[in-house]
Chains A and B, each alone.
Chain A
Amino acid sequence: MLKIGVLALQGDVREHAAALAAGGADPVPVRRAEELEGLDGLVLPGGESTAIDKLARAFGVAEPLRRRIGEGLPVYGSCAGMILLANTIADPATDRAGNRQQTFGGIDMVVRRNAFGRQVDSFETDLRFAGLEKLPGVAPDAGAAPVHAVFIRAPWVESIGPDVEVLASVGLSGPSAAAQAPGAARIVAVRSGKLLATSFHPEVTGERRIHELFIQMIRGEA
């Protein structure tokens, strides 16, 4: 059985663990560097990226994790997790001493935090998500069905490098901050090798295909 860690410093750890268990994996909470040993993959949950960054550095998880990602550990990040997987944050928080928020990195992309606006702008929607129709064990019809996506103070991907594949985008509309660039599509799901990131939270809707995709990526079957 695949042993998949969920970074458990803060955030919706329980929901990701449940989604992984439903996919037949063995989810384990990770708060310390030694708990990274022997993992087949890792999930970075939704939460506050600034809080997770600080705790990861304070407890010595950030550096070993960066190294494991460099060595090819498969990682999936949702929302805050997407921010933590980005090589660059467009608008990082800075502390009173002027130090910038850090990420673990791994995906050659620039993300913008809270890009869709504040909580009153948080939304749910249906998305086309590339690649789910080919998932082993998922009927092509079911795989092609839209993903119901929940965006909560969500980031978007502002730009990507050549090796990053776009899996889903959302069209901007309405009176929210997102309407700054009307008609523009924003990238909300990407894959780069064995790294997967979504702006939204499949773990809170009962959607299981994104976690299934991640499990298949670990197995080398997707």
Chain B
Amino acid sequence: MSINEQTPATATTTGSSRVKRGMAEMLKGGVIMDVVTPEQARIAEDAGAVAVMALERVPADIRAQGGVSRMSDPDMIDGIIEAVSIPVMAKARIGHFVEAQVLQSLGVDYIDESEVLTPADYVNHIDKWQFTVPFVCGATNLGEALRRINEGAAMIRSKGEAGTGDVSNATGHMRKIRSEIAKLAALPEDELYVAAKELQAPYELVKEIAATGKLPVVLFTAGGIATPADAAMMMQLGADGVFVGSGIFKSGNPAERAAAIVKATTFHDDPDVIAKVSRGLGEAMVGINVDEIAQPHRLSERGW
């Protein structure tokens, strides 16, 4: 709270849940794109992205190169913030609250506490209530989503399996979250206590989901989306919007593919539009089948 003594003073509150969750509401129906340079950020903005995710290496490269993956260099994040007028998000490692403090001080608009980076804490996630900047977190199921919301996440994304171009895990996570919500909404009230225990989620949130039939925050999808049709399918499965990571800048024609995915997201229920924008995009990212990735290297299994 701060009050201007001079005139016409207005008392304002920053960092409230409403302001954090409201920011995600404004991104709905849009595409958020992974970028590693200011030039890529400009391409994303020109294509109609609603935000960019600044990171050092896209998930496909993290996978290929291995090693510990961390928050990006502040100079690189500054460069991207300078380059575009749309919101800029950046990733912090799971549990790494100091990386998050740094990202907040850089003025990023959203922090992704992300399994794509190497976790910094295998027990605790970041206490996100301590921050003014809002957080998005990944989830593979409803219980995980609710635990993140309980820790202060203002937006959820289904995880998928990042850096693969294989959309099957994203599909599975969206369907799982959707069906678990539907199941809760159909339960008699006196069975919600056990449902909360089974979901390993706070009872109050479980009760709220059962009553409203939806998450209290925006639900995007991520992980393996590589084509306009992938994005449109996620929207038809009930996602509020789409994150595209390696799928754009690991493809043959990033600018056109990015614009096509934006259009397919908006017109996700119109196959004529999706067909039209899918033409002539060149090579999609080559991709890896999730099944071929050894269990310890599956990113979506990080976080709990």
Contact = CB atoms under 8 A, between A and B. Distances in A.
Is the A/B pair a real complex?
yes
B19 A123 contact: yes
Contact of B134 (A51, A119, A124, A172): A119
Contact of B16 (A8, A11, A31, A124): A124
A73 interface: no
Contact of A48 (B19, B30, B259): B30
Nearest to B13: A124
Q: Which of B14, B84, B107, B133: most chain A CB closer than 10 A?
A: B14
Interface of B: 2-4, 6-16, 18-19, 22-23, 25-30, 42-43, 45-51, 84-87, 104, 107-110, 132-134, 259, 262-263, 266-267
B32 to A, nearest CB: 10
B273 to A, nearest CB: 8
B267 A31 contact: yes
Interface residues of A, number: 54
A119 B87 contact: yes
User: Chain A's interface: helix, strand, loop or mixed, by majority?
Assistant: loop
A120 to B, nearest CB: 5
A10 to B, nearest CB: 4
Given A55-B266, A122-B19, A150-B22, A50 B85 contact: yes
B18 A150 contact: yes
Contacts of A90: none
Q: Which of A11, A13, A170, A182: most chain B CB closer than 10 A?
A: A11
A91 B84 CA distance: 12
Given A119-B87, A120-B107, A123-B19, A173 B12 contact: yes
A153 B50 CA distance: 13
B12 A174 contact: yes
Given A48-B27, A124-B18, 18 more contacts: A11-B29, A12-B25, A13-B29, A47-B28, A50-B45, A51-B50, A59-B263, A79-B26, A93-B45, A118-B107, A120-B15, A120-B104, A120-B133, A153-B87, A170-B10, A171-B10, A173-B12, A182-B4
B50 A113 contact: no
B10 A175 contact: no
B28 A118 contact: no
A173 B28 contact: no
Interface string A87-108: 0000101011000000000000
Given A11-B26, A95-B46, A153-B87, A51 B3 contact: no
Contacts of B6: 171, 182-183
A54 interface: yes
Contacts of A191: none
A151 B281 CA distance: 38
A180 interface: no
Contact of A185 (B2, B7, B110): B7
22 contacts: A10-B30, A12-B26, A31-B267, A46-B25, A51-B30, A51-B50, A51-B262, A54-B47, A54-B48, A55-B266, A79-B26, A93-B45, A93-B84, A96-B43, A118-B87, A120-B107, A122-B22, A123-B13, A150-B22, A172-B10, A185-B7, A201-B22
B133 A119 contact: yes
A152 B18 CA distance: 10
Nearest to B110: A119
Interface in A64-120: 79-80, 91, 93, 95-96, 113-114, 118-120
